[in-house]
Amino acid sequence: MDPHAKIYVAGHRGLAGGAILRSLQAAGYDHFVLRTHAELDLTDQGAVEAFFAAEQPEYVFLAAAKVGGIQANASYPAEFLRDNLAIQTNVIHSAWLHGVKKLQFLGSSCIYPKFAPQPMPESCLLTGELEPTNEWYAIAKIAGIKMCQAYRRQYGFDAIALMPTNLYGPGDNFNLETSHVLPALIRKFHDAKHRDDAQVVMWGTGTPRREFLHVDDLGAAAVFLMQHYSGEDFVNVGIGDDVTIREVAEIIRDVVGFKGEIVQDLSKPDGTPRKLMDVNRLNALGWRARIGLREGIEQTYQWFKESAGSRRD
């Protein structure tokens, strides 16, 4: 990409989109076209079409999505399916229609079967049943991958897809009703410390294993792949290592400085037993994650404490 090329980052105020924008700026790119949700509703086909016709961006990073954890997926299945299908369909089609040179679509590790082989290679997509607690979101993201592949095959559109693992970091959502597990635990331990509570409740058994990628690593990988990769096959983006939910809870307890105990709520679901990415394809292209889990949690908690006015809680 030319440093002065016109770049549209869809979802630039979100966790992933914000990190991609920061990485682009750090790499010297300086010509961006950005819209907030209030300025451009990506579920509105006519509005998206008009935006691309007027702005004519050269490159597109599609990081906009309706996202959330187990509780949000269970509560709003229609919205998770409908809104994400609409967003990606409108953006990918309009990008192709108006001559975008290259588009990058961000998916999610939840696209993989519930009992996928571990670590999960890209080849295991559509080889088994999905995890029921997030199948609505997963089906939408699978459709996005296939849309990128279909537009490449039929129209020669240079659309690539990335599948990030569980993301966390500055700009995350710390709302206990809608957040993912790591920011939810940060919020729980922080609040419990300030209330001087004796314990923090952790959903489920704590035994499921999860891989956590700092969002600034995701941003760096997204820019790297936009610069260096063009192919129909999607690419896993992760660190290739995982921890149990109990282990990440104990790291967060230590970072926050909470002195109480962790108790289990066994009435709550565990979700998928394990979700570890096979990142051999990404590593072979020449990129590896750099931010360790404890370091990343320390950075995220510092941001959480300093950013009360901008947290989505």
**Is 167 marked as binding a ligand?**
yes
Does the annotation place 282 within a ligand binding site?
A: no
141 is in an annotated binding site: yes
On whether 166 is known to bind a ligand per the annotation, the reply is: yes
3 is an annotated ligand-binding site residue: no
* 293 appears as a binding residue in the annotation: no
12 annotated to a ligand binding site: yes
| SS3 at position 214 | strand
182 is in an annotated binding site: no
Q: Is 75 annotated as a binding residue?
A: no
The C-alpha atoms of residue 285 and residue 193 are separated, in whole angstroms, by 44
174, 183 Cβ separation under 8 angstroms: yes
171 CA to centre of own chain = 12
- For residues 309 and 171, what is the distance between their CA atoms, to the nearest angstrom? 11
Reported as half-sphere exposure (CB side, CA atoms, 13 A), residue 86 has a value of 15
DSSP, residue by residue, 30-52: --EE---TTT--TT-HHHHHHHH
74 in a known ligand binding site:
no
Bridge partners of 265? 203
270 known ligand binder: yes
- 107 marked as binding residue: yes
Catalytic residue among 137, 151, 168, 301: 137
DSSP H stretches of helix in the chain? 15-26, 45-55, 70-75, 77-97, 135-155, 181-195, 215-228, 245-256, 280-285, 293-306
Q: Confirm or deny that 175 is annotated as ligand binding.
A: no
Closest CA relative to residue 162, chosen from 228, 105, 219, 119? 105
**What is the C-alpha radius of gyration for the chain, rounded to an integer number of angstroms?**
19
The yes-or-no answer on residue 137 being catalytic is yes
Known binding-site residue numbers: 11-17, 106-109, 141, 164-167, 180, 188, 203, 210, 270
Known binding-site residue numbers for substrate: 188, 203, 210, 270
Known binding-site residue numbers for NADP(+): 11-17, 106-109, 141, 164-167, 180
Q: Where in the sequence numbering do the catalytic residues fall?
A: 137
